Amino acid sequence: MKAFVLDRYASRPALRLADVGMPPLREDEVLVEVYAAGVNQLDAKISHGEFKRILPYRLPLILGHDVAGVVVQVGARVRKFKLGDAVYARLDDLRIGSFAEFVAVKEASLALKPQGLTMEQAASIPLVGLTAWQALVEKAALAPGQQVFIQAGSGGVGSFAIQLAKHLGATVATTASAANADFVKSLGADIVIDYRAQHVEDLLHGYDVVLHSQNGKTLDASLRVLHSGGKLISISGPPDPDFGRAIAASGFVQWVMRMLSAGIRRRAQKRGVGYAFLFMTANGPQLREITALIESGAIRPVVDRVFPFDATNEALAYVDAGHAKGKVVIKRK
Ligand SMILES: NC(=O)c1ccc[n+]([C@@H]2O[C@H](COP(=O)([O-])OP(=O)(O)OC[C@H]3O[C@@H](n4cnc5c(N)ncnc54)[C@H](OP(=O)(O)O)[C@@H]3O)[C@@H](O)[C@H]2O)c1
């Protein structure tokens, strides 16, 4: 089959279009013909080698975490899916590879594609949708009437998280550039802060939850937005000891994580704020909850650009540039 392969980590990687063997199918997996693949910052970061210690991939590697497609083969122990099912998924770490014609997907990570979505729209959802779900529902238990600050509302995670937080009944503040203010308002944001001209910590106070996705400078600003007892959930680091334990990292890596997060954990504790790092994971049952929200009309996919399969490198570079408005998708079929 054809696939885009990463041969070596690089600051500007060029994936190589190669003829490779079909992915080996395990008993608890289905083989999916890829119709569309979502492109994520995680693909770009892995290609730069940023996740070498956490995700020890062997190169050459087929990138791609999000897939929408059709089941063409079913493993011996698979019960919930059959040939011909239209499905979507965030692939499991160390089992990625949707920038290809076919990919093997764990049954436990898979869901039926939402009715009424195109394959491209469906492929835009899993990683960012599950990130928002695991941050706002699982970790924060966001409740009606609470106030949440979601950074970078115009990005892949932000555009989904705003809609989810509104569905959960929260008041939503977000950051965006002035050009994207109307866009994030159309997704439901109540308060929009121009991140290039204003400081969030001057404008937002007493918030319950922050979904942090930017750099160290904005992390401290995020901290000051919260009231004592509030929750700071970061998806862009630094990783904390709980995460190190959850992924059973080596003693050295756990020590590094403890050191990297010592400052923010200390400053958070001083303010009575809970700090947690989230590294989202594949999860079929949660994806089915998201499917229901999409089918009910509570959440809609936001696709910025669709690239043809041949232009996979261009799609990755576009995401890597960091200014996508919603999601970027590769269409194969
Ligand atoms: N830990 C996890 O599980 C996890 C999961 C998903 C994502 N992430 C991380 O979360 C971050 C966001 O991911 P994403 O997929 O949403 O990225 P993305 O789609 O590439 O984000 C692009 C958007 O961010 C906006 N933006 C850039 N800098 C900003 C700033 N300083 N303040 C506010 N908005 C800004 C851009 O708006 P303009 O064009 O107007 O600048 C653009 O619309 C990435 O670092 C990603 O790696 C982590």
Give the count of beta carbons closer than 10 Å to the beta carbon of residue 52.
Answer: 11
Altogether, the residues listed in the chain come to a count of 333
Mutate to test the pocket of ligand 1, among 157, 164, 211, 283 (most ligand atoms within 8 A of CB): 157
275 closest CA partner among 240, 228, 245 = 240
For ligand 1, atom 20: residue with the closest CA = 322
pLDDT of residue 216: 87
Residue indicated by tokens 């990625």: 96
Q: Which atom of ligand 1 is nearest to the CA of 157?
A: 16
Among protein residues, the one with the nearest Cα to ligand 1's atom 23 is: 155
Cα 26 to middle of ligand 1, angstroms: 34
**Could you tell me the end-to-end alpha-carbon distance of the chain, in angstroms, rounded to an integer?**
14
Element (H, E) at 330: strand 327-331
Interval between CA 76 and ligand 1 midpoint (Å): 39
Domain with CATH 3.90.180.10 in the chain: 2-124+301-331
> Tens-digit pLDDT profile for the chain (333 aa)?
999 999 999 999 999 999 999 999 999 999 999 999 999 999 999 999 999 988 999 999 999 999 999 999 999 999 999 999 999 999 999 999 999 999 999 999 999 999 999 999 999 999 999 999 999 999 999 999 999 999 999 999 999 999 999 999 999 999 999 999 999 999 999 999 999 999 999 999 999 999 999 998 899 999 999 999 999 999 998 999 999 999 999 999 999 999 999 999 999 999 999 999 999 999 999 999 999 999 999 999 999 999 999 999 999 999 999 999 999 999 999
Q: Who lines ligand 1 at CB under 6 A?
A: 40-42, 45, 128, 131, 151-152, 154-158, 175-177, 180, 195, 213-214, 235-236, 278-280, 319, 322-325
| Among 168, 240, 159, residue whose Cα is nearest residue 208 | 168
The amino acid sitting at 165 is A
Residue from 134, 235, 305 whose mutation best tests the ligand 1 pocket (most atoms within 8 A of CB): 235
Which atom of ligand 1 is closest in space to residue 134's alpha carbon? 3
Give the tokens for residue 5.
């392969």
Superfamily (CATH) of domain 128-277: NAD(P)-binding Rossmann-like Domain (3.40.50.720)
> Residue 319 CA to chain centroid, in angstroms?
13
Beta strands at 226-234 and 274-277: parallel, antiparallel or unpaired = parallel
Q: What's the one-letter identity of residue 240? A: D
Task: Round to whole Å and give the CA distance between 226 and 283.
Answer: 29
Nearest-angstrom CA–CA distance, 236 and 216: 9
Element (H, E) at 37: strand 29-39
Q: How far apart are CA 206 and CA 135, in angstroms?
A: 19
Ligand 1 centroid to Cα of residue 154, in Å, is 8
| CA 115 to chain CA centroid, nearest Å | 22
* d(CA 184, ligand 1 centre) in Å: 14
Ligand 1 atom with least separation from CA of 277 = 1
Q: How far is the CA of 113 from the centre of ligand 1 (A)?
A: 25
- CATH architecture for segment(s) 2-124+301-331: Alpha-Beta Complex (3.90)
Instruction: Pinpoint the residues of the chain covered by CATH 3.40.50.720.
Output: 128-277
Q: How far is CA 157 from the centre of its chain?
A: 6
Cα 141 to averaged position of ligand 1 atoms, centre (Å): 22
Alpha carbon distance 330, 66 (integer Å): 10
Question: Residue 187 to residues 94, 155, 298, 302: CA-CA distances in angstroms?
Answer: 33, 12, 10, 9
Q: Which atom of ligand 1 is nearest to the CA of 44?
A: 47
